[in-house]
Amino acid sequence: MGVIQDVIEKVNEKDRGQVEFLQAVKEVLTTLEPTIIKHPDFVKAKIYERIVVPDRAILFRVPWVDDSGEVQINRGFRVQFNNAIGPYKGGLRFHPSVNLGIIKFLGFEQIFKNSLTTLPMGGAKGGSDFDPKGKSDNEVMRFCQAFMRELFRHIGPDTDVPAGDIGVGAREIGYLYGYYLKIVNQNASVLTGKGLEFGGSLIRPEATGYGATYFAAEMLATRGLDIKDKVVVVSGSGNVAQYTVEKVIQLGGKVIGLSDSNGVIIDEAGIDSKKLDYLLDLKNYRRGRISEYAEKFKVLYYADKSIWDVIREQSIKLDIAFPSSHENEIESVNAQAMVNNGCFCVSEGANMPSTMDAIEVFQDNNVLFGPGKAANAGGVAVSGLEMSQNSMRISWSREEVDQKLFVIMKNIHKMSLEASEVYGKKGDYLMGANIAGFLKVAKAMMAYGII
């Protein structure tokens, strides 16, 4: 058996049941195969074996009291995967589906994503099986305080700097940071995604969606195309989806679909900036459902469906897809339907939203496929810029941050494309991004010796 296959087998045996983690390991390691020949030193130092085991995984109890006075217990996680190139960095996810395997998959992906940004950040991820949906603000606050009561001892501006992810937005970051400040008594850059009044960066909320759109534009440019007048479908309607829609509108594209965990809207006329304002208010302040958008603008609504099922079942035409909701949302049957319906570009706003079979369908059909770790790296990149601004005690303007984000996304695209060419599969962004991200981390690990 080859080195890569050996490592995959071992993960399968030792981390049994961590399905998403195994999937991420397979997806990354199989594309690293060409590095084996060029880097026998990595094989000798067992870099491939070492990189799939986290530096440490912290599990903790999060007890809190709900509004009716009942004690609730959730599980808390922080997986500090690899800090070879900088302090651990990666978001916190609050969602009932969270478990160790999901946090490990996200932390593992984060290593390569952070490396691609060219900023000095290691890979980590954390979260809880707590569901903020349907909870009062007071309950969310009590939960966040209980979560930070343990997390604070594992993080620090030069150690580990968490951020948001699914279920963790501006409100949650505010409660988490406020409690950190209270118990540690240090106004430190220990979280990103902070409010502008307390050390946040302009463009951080927009960064992942804007970045995924910039990445798509770069891919399209390789074929002499752009986003103008293209028909776009975005899944989800959270942070990443919202600002993808905003940037696509700015670049002249037409977004016709969005979703949430209850259903899908198809707005054939296209979502314009007025409708987007309504959506931002609905999702971020009133915490409502996407069905209310359908009622308000009298558009089609499909309850209890994924948007990719709707694209297939209703034969909806599209040019570009931005899966921006959750892992494994696109399976091969829907990938094939997307291709049949005209989709020629997929830029992943979410982490691992396409299954490995779905990716194969895209690649076999010459679809421009931007994998999450490259396409959605804009969020963590601007988090890195937030840390820089905090350290320097300055704030850059909107234009400055957006310009830096644009340049970073352009570079990530260039590095991924170049690595795909050097390693023999030009245009395979999945392989290119994995290899480009991996090499920097592997070289740093080599420099440190066996630790």
Contact residues: ligand NDP, CB under 6 A: 164-167, 169, 208, 236-241, 260-262, 324-326, 349-351, 376, 379
Intra-chain end-to-end CA distance of the chain, in Å: 26
Tokens standing for residue 255: 């977004």
Q: Compute CA distances 338 → 45, 201, 209, 228, 271, whole Å.
A: 43, 36, 21, 20, 20
Pick 47 or 401: Cβ nearer ligand NDP = 401
Look at the alpha carbons of 328, 333, 337, 340 in this order and tell me if their dihedral is positive or negative.
Answer: positive
Q: How far apart are CA 277 and CA 60, in angstroms?
A: 39
Considering beta carbons, is residue 365 or 411 the nearer one to ligand NDP? 411
Separation between Cα atoms, residue 167 and residue 237, nearest integer Å: 12
Residue nearest to ligand NDP (CB): 238
Name residue 345's beta-bridge partners: 320, 368
In whole angstroms, the minimum distance from the beta carbon of 36 to ligand NDP comes to: 29
- The span from the CA of 429 to the CA of 427, in Å, is 6
The question of whether 425 is a catalytic residue gets the answer no
CB of 376 to ligand NDP, least distance (A): 4
Q: Of the candidates 445, 416, 446, which has an alpha carbon nearest to the alpha carbon of residue 431? A: 416
Under 8 Å CB-to-CB from 243, ≥6 apart: which residues? 205, 206, 207, 208, 209, 210
C-beta of 117 vs 351, nearer to ligand NDP? 351
Q: Give the nearest distance from C-beta 377 to ligand NDP in angstroms.
A: 7
72: which strand partners? 64
Exactly one of 89, 104, 113, 125 is catalytic; name it.
Answer: 125
Type of residue numbered 137: D
Least distance between ligand NDP and beta carbon 212 (Å): 9
Q: Which two tokens stand for residue 183?
A: 């118990």
We find the least distance from the C-beta atom of residue 89 to ligand NDP, in angstroms, to be 11
Closer residue to ligand NDP, CB minimum distance, 51 or 282: 282
Nearer to ligand NDP, 39 or 373 (CB): 373
Q: Torsion angle, CA of 226/230/234/239, rounded to 10 degrees?
A: 50
Q: What share of the chain is helix, strand, coil (3-state, %, to 5)?
A: 50, 15, 30
Beta-ladder partners of 137: none
Pick 84 or 166: Cβ nearer ligand NDP:
166
Measured from the CB atom, is 83 or 383 closer to ligand NDP? 383
Structure tokens at 413: 């695209």
| Cα 354 to Cα 362: distance, rounded to the nearest angstrom | 10
The minimum distance between CB 317 and ligand NDP, in angstroms, equals 23
As measured in angstroms, the least distance from the Cβ of 449 to ligand NDP is 32
The residue type found at 213 is: T
**Enzyme catalytic residues:** 125
